Amino acid sequence: VQQRFNFERNFWAVACHELKNPLGGTVGYLDLAISEMKNVQCQIPGGSPPDTTRLASLQMDALACTQQALSWLHSLNSFCKLEAGQLKPTLRPMLVTDLLAAAVKIAKPSLNAGVELILELPQPNRAEVCEYMIEATMVSQVLCNLMLNATRVTEQGSITVRCLDVTDDACSESEGSFVFELIDTGVGCSDELLARLGSKYVPTSSGTGLGLYVVTSLLRKLDSDLSVVSPFDGNGGTKFSFGLRLAIAPRQQCSTPTNHFTSTSQLDVSGGTQG
């Protein structure tokens, strides 16, 4: 009860802080970009051309700030719907790789300078050749929340997003099983925080903790759960993972993909990096 009281007492103050900082960043970067364009327009004929690299960087930074604020609003919206019992899965056919690529593109502009975002799709993998019935909104929010959380705590090194096809060949014509992993080289989690991670009233060092509560709640609605290992692989950082069993979309047949890739398939996740 005391935890809940403390959480609710501080929640809106923290919420305003979570939104004020990235939106203030958006305004600041857009102001700088507009000033750059005005300076170019005021140049005399034959003057220096606009610095397109500088303008693109400012736009990417503004986009990153906006996406952070939007992601937090999505989490808040899901939190309210979960509390009211109004959030129910709605399935639609799509490629798993399309979902992954979209989530990576949202998170990529929020990377700290020098941090590499790696998307791995070990082969063979049905994720890129078969459409499955997916609750795209929920799964996308889980992936985006985990990725954006990783960008906050990873100041150097890398963030790896991996999708493993663990489908049993005996049932591969009707469903697919996938394990999603997100591994960062950030600050890691203490044992105390690990024990309470995903609880409703437990803040983290990077925010309210609402995002991870929403992640664990959404995964429960998808008959899954979140596994957390920290430190991971003896090098610090954290590994988040969860599994999904997905029915194959109607009117198609899928078998094990036959290709010559043995390590990682390349997806189109082009985007910018925050400098």
**Cα(249)–Cα(58) distance, rounded to whole angstroms?**
41
Contacts (Cβ under 8 Å, ≥6 apart) of 7? 200, 201, 203
CA–CA separation, 193 vs 190, rounded Å? 5
Report which residue type is found at 245. Answer: R
Q: What is the DSSP string of 36-57?
A: HHHHHHTSPTT-PPP-HHHHHH
pLDDT of residue 139: 93
Domain ranges across the chain: 2-84, 92-247
Residue 9: per-residue pLDDT: 60
For residue 274, pLDDT beyond 60: no
pLDDT on residue 219: 93
Q: Show Cβ contacts of residue 44 under 8 Å, excluding neighbours closer than 6 positions.
A: none
The predicted model scores a pTM of 0.73
pLDDT given at position 235:
67
Neighbours of 206 (CB within 10 A): 17
Average pLDDT, integer, range 235-258: 81
Of 58-62, 91-95, 252-256, minimum mean pLDDT range? 252-256
d(CA 117, CA 129): 23
Q: How far apart are CA 39 and CA 132, in angstroms?
A: 51
Q: What is the pLDDT of residue 246?
A: 95
What is the mean pLDDT of the segment spanning 121-126? 84
Q: Is the pLDDT of residue 224 over 80?
A: yes
Q: Is 168 exposed, middle or buried (0-12, 13-18, 19+ CB in 10 A)?
A: exposed
pLDDT band at residue 11, thresholds of 50, 70 and 90?
low
Spell out where 168-237 has E strands: 175-184, 227-229
Q: Considering the chain, what percentage of its residues have pLDDT values greater than 90?
A: 25
Residue 266 has pLDDT above 60, yes or no: no
CA distance 246 to 222: 10
Task: Among 3.65.10.10, 3.40.50.11310, 2.40.50.140, 3.30.565.10, name the CATH number for the domain at 92-247.
Answer: 3.30.565.10
Q: Which two tokens stand for residue 235?
A: 């090098």
- Flag the least confident range among 1-15, 63-77, 204-218: 1-15
Give me the phi and psi of 238, to 5 degrees please. -140, 145
pLDDT of the residue at 232: 75
- Checking if the pLDDT of 260 tops 50, the result is no
pLDDT per position as a tens digit, 138-148: 898 899 889 98
Q: Of all residues in the chain, what percent carry a pLDDT higher than 70?
A: 74
Q: What whole-number distance in Å separates Cα of residue 186 and Cα of residue 150?
A: 7
Tell me the CA end-to-end span of the chain in Å, nearest whole number: 43
pLDDT for res 87: 76
Q: Which residue has the higher pLDDT, 15 or 256?
A: 15
How confident is the model over 98-118, as a mean pLDDT? 86
